[in-house]
Structure 1
């Protein structure tokens, strides 16, 4: 084999090696590109997942804040409604209190009412001797019915007539513009045992409080309807 043939073979071998190298290089390049694309896709998907999770977290926070805000507004509205209802009910009681003042203006009926209140109080206390307190302006009317009240009580309770001592410390006067912020009494009496251990408040204001308290559920139902549990 001459030099020319050797040279040709060497060139063929070089071309073959180069071609093989190029093919290998292309395979490596394609494989690297594929791995890069896969890794890039994985990174993109991972970032997308993080973004979705962050969005979901923030969305949940927003929903929670909305629920809290709605609950607060709902509670505030309920409180306003309840306050408005209380204001209306209390205004009714205030109006009733003002109407009580007219009761003592009719002396004939009020005199009979005082006697009945005294008898009722005696029946509650069932004491042989009691202390009676009234308004100063009612003193004359109270004294005028004491005998008949004691007699009626004794007959109903089947006991001796009790001793009734009228206290010189009087109940507060009726409310007026001059003393509208002071203690007041619309009428009636307060009886107590002589030792002061048993007291029965039978004023018009106390009776209104009792009636109002007992009738409050009925009043609310009449004004506002049945309240859901």
Structure 2
């Protein structure tokens, strides 16, 4: 009975081949699954690394870009300030040269004695009205004393006519204007304690302060950066 169910060598070989083929097939499928899974994990890890590197590169680039922008802004600001300072310096040099030229010509006003006498009279009247005292002294240049006396007479007369007040003025010969004075005078009151300086040099100094804005406007035009005006 047992012999009838015994497998021949050929049958055993065939069965072994089937089993081997099945095991091999299973192994191949399992290997394929592992390979696919490995490829997926590799792709995921690769994508993660790419994103990380891309993010790192973007961050580095953004930092460098911001740094470059800041450096560029600083450079522009520095250049703008240097240019502005050069422009301001050139403008100031021009203004200084204008007033220096005017200072050199101050003495020209004394050449015409008639006109100079009128100038001295008006400068004197300005001091008379400001001090409002009955007795004053006038300090002028020694070479102007003759013209100065005539100017005093004219100023006192006009002052009396305008104010209906008496006034007398004399030349303070003990304190003449220093050598080099271009012209003009000073009016002294308050028993010698009050001095109104109306020399040409002082009037030019005052003119620098009062007329400088209009001179700038005439020469350079309106300042677009200025928001407030007097």
Other-structure match for 2:163: 157
Would you say how many aligned residue pairs link Structure 1 and Structure 2? 219
Map 1:80-229 to 2 at 5 A. Answer: 80-164=86-170, 166=172, 168-174=174-180, 185-195=181-191, 198-229=194-225
Equivalent residues of 1:191, 1:201 under 8 A apart = yes
Other-structure match for 1:39: 45
Unaligned runs of 5+ residues in structure 2 are 1-5, 226-230
> How far apart, in 2, do the equivalents of 1:34 and 1:48 lie?
21
Shift of 1:47: 0.5
Asked whether 1:61 is paired with 2:33, we answer: no
> How far apart, in 2, do the equivalents of 1:136 and 1:186 lie?
12
Unaligned runs of 5+ residues in structure 1 are 175-184
Other-structure match for 1:30: 36
> Larger deviation: 112-121 or 146-155?
146-155
Shift of 1:44: 1.7
Shift of 1:39: 0.6
Equivalent residues of 2:135, 2:167 under 8 A apart = no
Shift of 1:126: 0.7
> How far apart, in 1, do the equivalents of 2:151 and 2:58 lie?
89
Could you say what secondary structure the match of 2:108 adopts? coil
1:120-150 CA distance string (max 9 Å, x none): 2111211223343323443454345434432
Report which of the two structures shows the higher radius of gyration computed on alpha carbons.
Answer: 2
Could you say what secondary structure the match of 1:127 adopts? coil
> How far apart, in 2, do the equivalents of 1:161 and 1:67 lie?
69
The RMSD of aligned alpha carbons is: 2.7
The structure-2 alpha-carbon separation of the partners of 1:117 and 1:46, relative to structure 1 and needing over 3 Å to count, comes to same
Equivalent residues of 1:131, 1:194 under 8 A apart = no
> Larger deviation: 136-145 or 67-76?
136-145
Equivalent residues of 1:121, 1:191 under 8 A apart = yes
Shift of 1:73: 1.3
